[in-house]
Chain A
């Protein structure tokens, strides 16, 4: 899939549904990079993703403070690793310190990253399929969601 998908989401429920639908296309080891300003709906999107993978959407909360959270899922994808780099120092070694290599190499999981960095792509295993999801808040408060391959 090489085309950019653009979806307009009117509320958080709709954003969640877009995440849930994306989940159906994911395979173990896939990486989803979520870009968007504060309150764009990144965590909401991941809540839908986890629901779509048979996990408990209620267990999805903001990982800003703890940087990494993992949710159990049901099916060939056993986990979602939810990473939030918002608070992480810019120093490249900080990524290694949170165990990014280990997390990205988990072949049974989908990895969803909020506030990703260019550097992150260098850490991905060769066979990983990174997807970029860009969420933009419009003046009317709807969210534009663009999904495109890296």
Chain B
């Protein structure tokens, strides 16, 4: 039995709070942008300001305590990577909450959170157990990377060298005159276009690594948009040429994300393949992954659409699993990790390292 867990996520725009029960059932899951009185901008303006997190967090936690099936027995909080001021609000709040209630506290890596999101259910079911070997794609507005997990040890296999996949959607959409965030609207429009209209070359890195590079694709797509006179065309005036170009661009992003999959599959022999992060909501990516799963004869698990973007349910689940592995932080000493959001390959600090820095016993 795992402890009922309160999850807190403030690493970037969203203030998110969730409660998971002993079996990882989502008892409560809420984002500040979903709360009417807290979304005067309709969730469009990013909630970067620490004070916005500070305003939303106590209110969301109060709702969580009312909505959950019982008192939390563990607190899990995102400690990085992210914007340091925003992270600190969550970390300090979680620390004070845990200390005041004498609860254990677990620091969670935001990316570990995304990786467990496919195993959660939003229909009231328990969380699925993680298989021994998982191959995981995380693709969002801020991150794009493949991970391999083997017997609880996670390694990053590749990452983006420049822009994140979701960011590329946002920026290309902007040049088209489409709404922010770009992912959902590009997805919708690209379904009506033909991806054969334009061909975007896949980047080849000089060192031959599997790393992504989306900056060249962004640049090429913007060049095509301008060359075809489609700058600022907008959703309602998008004709077949715009729809085709969007479909071609989307297909290039998806091809690149899935490019290293055959290599990684052969090398790590995963029992399941997962995808998470906002880009995991993309229809083409979901279809292509399902097809790869059939080809390799392996199950593909995707998060419920409500848990692809940042949320606290995934943080609570990653926290539960870390707690089960004996990793806890000292509620009085936990700090947000660092301003640096990317660590060089193999250098990404794990909750284990945070534990040793902020050493504490699980109570």
What residues of chain A have their CB less than 8 Å away from a CB belonging to chain B? 12, 38-39, 43-44, 56, 58-59, 61-71, 81, 87-89, 93-94, 97-99, 141
Contacts and interface: CB of A to CB of B under 8 A. Distances in A.
Contacts of A81: 339
Interface stretch (B1-9, B160-168, B291-299): B160-168
17 contacts: A12-B215, A38-B218, A38-B222, A44-B162, A44-B215, A58-B344, A61-B160, A63-B341, A64-B142, A65-B12, A65-B140, A65-B141, A66-B81, A66-B142, A69-B339, A97-B50, A99-B84
Given A44-B215, A56-B344, A68 B83 contact: yes
Q: Tell me which of A43, A61, A67, A69 has the highest count of chain B C-beta atoms within 10 A of its own C-beta.
A: A61
Contacts of B218: 38-39
Nearest to B167: A64
Interface in B146-181: 160-164, 166-167, 170-171, 174-175
A94 B48 CA distance: 8
A89 B164 contact: no
Nearest to A93: B49
A62 B48 contact: no
A59 B338 CA distance: 14
Contact of A98 (B48, B142, B175, B343): B48
Contact of B219 (A39, A64, A88): A39
B36 interface: no
B46 interface: yes
Interface string B45-66: 1101111000000000000000
Given A38-B174, A38-B222, A70-B339, A61 B48 contact: no
B126 interface: no
Nearest to A96: B49
Nearest to A37: B222
B72 interface: no
Contact of A66 (B82, B163, B174): B82
B204 interface: no
Nearest to B339: A70
A44 B163 CA distance: 11
A141 B223 contact: yes
Interface in B332-348: 338-344
Contacts of B84: 68, 99
Contacts of B50: 97
B163 A64 contact: yes
B167 A65 contact: yes
B49 A94 contact: yes
Given A39-B218, A43-B215, A65-B164, A98 B45 contact: no
B85 interface: yes
A139 to B, nearest CB: 9
A68 B166 CA distance: 18
A141 B219 CA distance: 9
Interface in B207-240: 215-216, 218-219, 222-223
A56 B161 CA distance: 12
Given A39-B215, A43-B215, A97-B85, 16 more contacts: A12-B216, A58-B344, A61-B163, A64-B163, A65-B140, A65-B141, A65-B142, A66-B341, A67-B83, A69-B342, A70-B339, A87-B48, A88-B46, A88-B48, A97-B49, A99-B84
Nearest to A86: B171
Contacts of B222: 38-39
Contacts of A43: 162-163, 215
Q: Tell me which of A66, A67, A88, A89 has the highest count of chain B C-beta atoms within 10 A of its own C-beta.
A: A66
